[in-house]
Structure 1
């Protein structure tokens, strides 16, 4: 079981390669550590594992010792005297190795339950990371909107000046103002969405909803693709759990075979005998002590044969479930890899478009200096520039979100 333990520090170290630009900001690794320490779902699985592990002590027992006391109301008379009362004790013992088989079976169940902890931790790390990246993207979009609002304010000043000299219409000013209002609305909506996502992240960490989460200033698209070893998918804890369950069924069958064996019992009967007053001989009033040995044989053993058949079917079912889950994980991994590549393509295109939009903006500014400016073109260029900036932010977010999925699957 220890060989299959999840090396959280390794995953955090590998995941932090995407976050080398943190300066005076809360580290994602710190958030993940806090979540792993405080998340109630993780604590739930850990308690379940401890509970199942404790069952080893429960099964490490033998059947109850039987005691019996009987009093002869009508004392039977024997040659050595009348029998007065009887005391008996009996202990049944399971077949050799049965208790060990029970312990092995429960330990196998505990090993399978431990994988639930590993899976839950991986999922929690992915959820915290994804929430963090969503917050980053939200914050970046708000900053872009603020920059574009300021840009429109500059254009509005130019438009007012043009109106005064008769080179623009008041309608142009109103259009610029309406566009500012629209962008301010988008920013306000994003602000509320940020608070909602912040609450979501804080809940992962099991802390107050309004605790502020500080973000990195910027996330850069990595310059190179990270090599992905898809063979590691076969070691994913969701698949290892099926292997542990399969092994637990093997232990269950071994236990079933042991329990179908006879049970041996040892006992002792003691009978108190009264002395005969009218006779004098050596065994007069001698008590009776009778050791006993008994055997419990499961002659009608259909129960155990049925259990063997059920175990065989369970193993086949587990193998099918494992293959089904493997297919799903392979699909998820392939999709994440392809979408991360697509995010890089979208990012490169957005960067080119942003540069060209800024070039067009400079041309408009120079047109104003020569006395000619079309504020419809201003709005068109501004709208395109905002679209490309949002696209660049979304592509970066998508890249890191897909990287989180890849990390969940193969690290």
Structure 2
């Protein structure tokens, strides 16, 4: 029975692998889809993108049509009669290509806003995945503690038997019981931490804090090392966003050039004329209809010159911001790769340590069969095994948390 429980104790509790994600990946993917659907943050950015897209339709506009009417209080006399009133209609039209320039500028702004939507979704996926891995690690630690508690109960029964035959002291039994109490306390603390992390996870999915989250607790680090393409980092949405913003400034400058051009105006004046009764004339009382053409010339164009200078400075600023962000993302990627490699090294070390601790435990069991077991050594070995198991769980959690960062940056 001791050998059977000892074997159970060394079952690995983590078993995720990015290349074999099907065991629990479907579960996580379901949560991710739910988070993207329900997230107020995603909905907010989605609305911002839709507003930016709608501004393309808004760009297709003309200045207001001007209609005016006037009545001559003192009617001016002309050769063919007195002018009674004046009706005017005028429409200004932007320079050729101005409306297209407006639409192109609005489209470039919408494209930049779309990158924000992509970034927001990626960040949410990272947050949901990392919280999920925290829950999995917590669950695995609880299972490890429970199995260690059960094993200590087995050792306690052996110690009681040894006390009865005079091969151990009652102190050994008490130490085993104290150790069980400590592990039970640690397990209960983990249960509270699980509830806190579960609330965080549910908030990411925008649902009730106390909803149960079903997670797997069978993980391992994959043997294969995935190839990381750092070239993909250069087309990351956080960087292409700056390209889209740069393009929007270029379109803004084209629009500025168009708006600095003259505007054409077309109009029509209509003046009704009264007939003269004192004589008969050709065109007597004929109304006046006068087409008009207006040209609006921006002579004082310092505004447009200043806007051009501002656009040039904005593009330089955007270029600097992109370079700064690229450096930050490269640093983040390098750190994530190194930390993930460190997690793999730690995992391998803990596996070796667990194997050696298992060998030591088997020696103690054989000693018990010859009647020379030392329960102080049993406690020491059990404590070491638990330490190695917990460290192994932490290593696997760190591996996958760093993997989410790497996937965020390179996929």
Superposition TM-score tier, normalisation by shorter sequence: over 0.9
Query: Hey, what's the Cα distance between the residues in 1 that align with 2:254 and 2:332?
Result: 37
- Greater Cα offset, 124-133 or 95-104: 124-133
Partner of 1:8: none
Distance in 2 (alpha carbons) for counterparts of 1:155 and 1:243: 66
Q: Residue in 1 aligned with 2:386?
A: 386
Kindly indicate whether the alpha-carbon contact (under 8 Å) linking 1:21 and 1:218 is maintained by their aligned counterparts in 2.
no
Q: Deviations over 1:46-81 (max 9, x none)?
A: 111010110111110010000000011111122111
Once the two structures are superposed, the pairs formed by residues 217-256 of structure 1 within 5 Å of their partners are: 217-256=217-256
SS of equivalent to 1:87: strand
Tell me by how many angstroms 1:402 deviates: 1.0
1:275 aligned partner: 275
Tell me what 2:355 maps to.
355
**Aligned position for 1:210:** 210
Contact 1:63 1:92 in 2 (8 A): yes
Corresponding position of 1:21: 23
The CA deviation at 1:175 is: 1.7
Which whole-Å deviations, capped at 9, do the CAs of 1:25-44 have from their partners, x for residues lacking one?
A: 96212222222222221111
Q: Secondary structure at the match of 2:224?
A: coil
Tell me the alpha carbon deviations over residues 112-134 of structure 1, each in whole angstroms, 9 at most, x when there is no partner.
00001111111111111111111
**Secondary structure in structure 2 of the residue aligned to 1:88:** strand
Give runs of aligned pairs for residues 4-403 of structure 1, distance below 5 A. 17-22=19-24, 27-403=27-403
Aligned-partner SS, 2:128: helix
Partner secondary structure for residue 273 of structure 1: coil
**Do 1:26 and 1:213's aligned partners in 2 also have CA atoms closer than 8 Å?**
no
> CA RMSD, aligned part only?
1.4
Q: Is the 8 A contact 1:39 1:205 kept in 2?
A: yes
Residue 257 of structure 1 deviates from its aligned partner by: 0.3
Cα offset for 1:217?
4.1
Distance in structure 2 (CA, Å) of the matches to 1:356 and 1:281: 125
Distance 2:372 2:277 in 1: 142
Secondary structure of the equivalent of 2:385? helix
Contact 2:18 2:222 in 1 (8 A): no
Give, in angstroms, the shift of residue 18 of structure 1. 4.5
Tell me the secondary structure at the aligned position of residue 368 of structure 2.
helix
Report Cα offsets for 1:129-148 as digits up to 9, x if no partner: 11111111111000000011
- 2:341, 2:68 → 1: CA distance? 78
Residue deviations 1:354-400, cap 9 Å, x none?
11111111222222222222222122111110000011111111111
Report if the CA contact (8 A) 1:133-1:401 is conserved. Answer: yes
Instruction: Determine whether 1:410 maps to 2:376.
Output: no
Matched-pair contact (CA < 8 Å) for 1:339–1:402: yes
Match of 2:8 in 1: none
Unaligned runs of 5+ in 2: 1-16
Give distance in 2, aligned partners of 1:42 and 1:394. 31
Q: Name the SS of the counterpart of 1:279 in structure 2.
A: coil
Instruction: Number of aligned residue pairs: give it.
Output: 395
Asked if 2 retains the 8 angstrom alpha-carbon contact of 1:26 and 1:216, the reply is no
What displacement does 1:249 show?
0.4
User: 2:234 and 2:20 mapped to 1: Cα distance?
Assistant: 24
Alignment partners' CA distance in 1, 2:359 and 2:334:
38
Which digits, 9 at most, give the CA deviation of each residue in 1:144-203, with x for residues without a partner?
000111111111112222222333332222221111111111111111111221222222
TM-score under structure 2 normalisation?
0.93
Q: Is the 8 A contact 1:21 1:219 kept in 2?
A: no
**3-state SS of 1:30 partner:** helix
For residues 314 and 251 of structure 1, the distance between their equivalents in structure 2, rounded to whole angstroms, comes to 12
- TM-score, normalised by the number of residues in structure 1: 0.93
Whether contact under 8 Å (1:92, 1:265) holds in the other structure is yes
Higher mean C-alpha displacement, 340-349 vs 365-374:
365-374
CA contact (8 A) 2:119 2:237 kept: yes
Cα distance in structure 2, aligned partners of 1:103 and 1:339: 47
Could you list the runs of 5+ residues in structure 1 that have no partner in the other structure? 1-14
SS at match of 2:317: helix
